[in-house]
Structure 1
Amino acid sequence: MPSYECGYRYCSFKTSRAVKAITLPSFAKLNLYLKITGKRKDNYHDLITIFERVSLYDTIRVVLRDDPAIKIFSHCNDIPLDSTNLCFKAAKIIQDRYRVNKGVGINITKRIPVGAGLGGGSSNAAAVFLALNKLWGLGLTQEELLELAAHIGCDVPFFILDKPFALGQKRGDKVSSIPGLKNTRLWHLILAPTLNIPTPQIYSDWDKLYQPKAELTKLKKDVKLILSSLKYGALPEAVRLFDNDLERVTLRSYPQLKSIRLELERLGLLGVLMSGSGPAFFTTMASKKEAMSYYQRLQLFRNQWRVFLVSTC
């Protein structure tokens, strides 16, 4: 797997006269904290979440076409290659809004597990926005890109923001950077079962089973404590407050996932949490050495789960 520095500010947007193309990394995310605060009139949910960008990534290559067609290519059989793909939607909305008469070919090399709660599709769409802004010479600001991204998916704006950590509110699409965490680097093991869980189903199940209980004031206090603990290196205190409302719903709908959590805890891994609507679990550690030690032990289960060693990026 090629190595990329994290963050698009580090990426050199290179085009050649023969073939105008851009290749970008498309990073995964974890939700360190996710609490639902209410149901919206548009059937989405208001929530508060702490996003973290991590070093697991797909590769997106965007190539200009002379005709107006948008074409999606991938070796991965688990993603659509038609107009339902988020990369297609990203290219289409920017093409229509700015009346671009050229098309684009988008090649997606997948490494992020699909439908695992790691934001792969949203990250891919964000990479397309950034690439086309450059290739088509649109000169859009980050604010303009954030507005476009919110039309495609609730997680897409986080990847446009281009920060290692961010606070997400409203549908998750109102994102803001978190001061004080510039030098914070966490290590994680991600364990992804070979199971694709549709996020809308989990939110629908949540509506049937639960209602928001905690007051927004308390949730914001929890977030403040987590961020303060991370800032000052008090990782155990932060991990104790990590939480995800969707995890209990996913575990109820897919009870076979409970065995993964139990096995991870049996191995001594603390703070095991599901990211997004799952089914991927992650655990958090302060050092690469500790993470590597557990990573090697978890290779015993590689026939059952995909295991990734990642860090904040």
Structure 2
Amino acid sequence: MNSITLKSRAKINLSIDVLGKRQDGYHLVEMIMQTIDLYDLIEINEKDNDQITIKSTSDEIPLDCNNLVYKAANLIKKTFNINKGVEIHIKKNIPVAAGMAGGSSNAAAVLVGLNKLWNLNLSNQQLEKIGLKLGADVPFCINGGAVLASGIGEELTPIKGLTKDVCILVCKPDLFVSTKEVYECIDSKDIDKRPNNKFLIECLKNEDTRQLAENMFNVLEGVTMDKHPVIQQIKDIMTNNRALGAMMSGSGPTVFGLYENREDAVKCKAILEKQFKQTFVVACEEKGVEVNG
């Protein structure tokens, strides 16, 4: 039987702005996204039956048709009339419901993997189009890198990302945040402080990580922080321990800090780990989904 294993990478947001709301309920955004080298491993095994089965090392995710991975496989099967089955194994490293696009990234990996496994010969652009049916973050997760995302998050403009020597400390407190609920609390007309994305893109271009870190901004942060003050606590621990800047990613609750040197990031990790076990030191990454080996 054919099989393939893929790396499915997480992302952080260096900014999030909400500009309005469409009639279908989707919010219009403008945000900078960056892939990081924290990844799940997705193993896809072809089966003779017509079933999609999912297994995982995590007990925090659904293993049925509610998982985006199932939806991705089902969408490919239906779109291209494929009557083979697959068993998909998800080795989870990316924290679940963390504002890091873990689920979207897993779905992106399934699209890329089945495209190869079943010789569909779809371009990345075609895969992105299919991915958009599953969620606004899926198209970005296919290619990764750094982008300015607009529209509902599907209009992607590639930009220069963080340099490899920037250390990223990621910390997810043990709580669940509903993206839907956070966005429902936001009214774009009431936002008084917004990120200056043009300036942030300029900072990335000039490799001015300090200016970038000091000016990153996420309009969703205040909403999530009001409900979960621990987010501010994590930010404070990072900035008090030599982070150039710290911010919540996505709708939360994950917080990341940018560091000039790895030693400082590792020291702060040791402090945070006493309280929050899902803490990682990572670098940025230019790729999204990647075939492993």
Q: Which residue of 1 aligns with 2:275?
A: 304
Q: Secondary structure of 2:204's partner? A: helix
Q: Secondary structure of 1:272's partner? A: strand
How many angstroms apart in 1 are the aligned matches of 2:248 and 2:270? 20
Distance 1:173 1:212, change over 3 A: farther
How many angstroms apart in 2 are the aligned matches of 1:76 and 1:105? 16
Distance 1:62 1:212, change over 3 A: farther
The CA deviation at 1:230 is: 1.4
Q: Which residue of 2 aligns with 1:15?
A: none
The CA deviation at 1:181 is: 4.6
The CA deviation at 1:125 is: 0.5
The residue type paired with residue 296 of structure 1 is K
Q: Which residue of 1 aligns with 2:5?
A: 23
**Cα RMSD, aligned residues only:** 1.9
Q: Secondary structure of 2:62's partner? A: coil
2:216 matched to 1:234?
no
Distance 1:176 1:78, change over 3 A: same
The residue type paired with residue 220 of structure 2 is L
Deviations, residues 100-120 of structure 1 (Å, cap 9, x unaligned): 111111100000100111111
Q: Secondary structure of 1:100's partner? A: coil
Q: Secondary structure of 2:189's partner? A: coil
Gaps of 5+ in 2: 286-293
Q: Which residue of 2 aligns with 1:14?
A: none
How many angstroms apart in 1 are the aligned matches of 2:271 and 2:199? 36
C-alpha contact 1:91 1:128 (8 A) present in aligned 2: yes
State TM-score, norm by structure 2. 0.91
How many angstroms apart in 2 are the aligned matches of 1:201 and 1:114? 17
The CA deviation at 1:135 is: 0.8
C-alpha contact 1:184 1:231 (8 A) present in aligned 2: no
The residue type paired with residue 155 of structure 1 is D
Distance 1:109 1:22, change over 3 A: same
Fraction of identical pairs, as percent: 35
**Partner residue of 1:149 out of 131, 146, 149:** 131
Q: Secondary structure of 2:243's partner? A: coil
How many angstroms apart in 1 are the aligned matches of 2:165 and 2:68? 29
Q: Which residue of 1 aligns with 2:185?
A: 205
2:252 matched to 1:278?
yes
Q: Which residue of 1 aligns with 2:289?
A: none
Distance 1:181 1:247, change over 3 A: closer
C-alpha contact 1:189 1:291 (8 A) present in aligned 2: no
C-alpha contact 1:226 1:241 (8 A) present in aligned 2: yes
The CA deviation at 1:214 is: 6.7
Gaps of 5+ in 1: 1-18
The residue type paired with residue 147 of structure 2 is A
C-alpha contact 2:269 2:281 (8 A) present in aligned 1: no
Aligned residues: 284
2:137 matched to 1:166?
no
Deviations, residues 135-160 of structure 1 (Å, cap 9, x unaligned): 11111111111111111111111011
C-alpha contact 1:157 1:174 (8 A) present in aligned 2: no
Task: Map residues 108-187 of structure 1 onto 2, 5 A cutoff.
Answer: 108-160=90-142, 162-178=143-159, 180-181=160-161, 186-187=166-167
Q: Secondary structure of 2:59's partner? A: coil
The residue type paired with residue 236 of structure 1 is R
The residue type paired with residue 292 of structure 1 is E
Q: Which residue of 1 aligns with 2:27?
A: 45
Give the helix-richer structure, 1 or 2. 1
How many angstroms apart in 2 are the aligned matches of 1:297 and 1:237? 21
Q: Which residue of 2 aligns with 1:9?
A: none
Q: Secondary structure of 1:61's partner? A: strand
Q: Which residue of 2 aligns with 1:196?
A: 176
How many angstroms apart in 1 are the aligned matches of 2:113 and 2:250? 26
Q: Which residue of 2 aligns with 1:291?
A: 262
Deviations, residues 252-306 of structure 1 (Å, cap 9, x unaligned): 12233332223333334331100001111011123xxx23333224313313112
C-alpha contact 1:154 1:173 (8 A) present in aligned 2: yes
Higher relative contact order (CA 8 A, sep 6+): 2
Q: Secondary structure of 1:29's partner? A: strand
How many angstroms apart in 1 are the aligned matches of 2:62 and 2:24? 25
State TM-score, norm by structure 1. 0.85
Q: Secondary structure of 2:24's partner? A: coil
How many angstroms apart in 1 are the aligned matches of 2:246 and 2:254? 10
How many angstroms apart in 2 are the aligned matches of 1:297 and 1:276? 22
2:228 matched to 1:246?
no
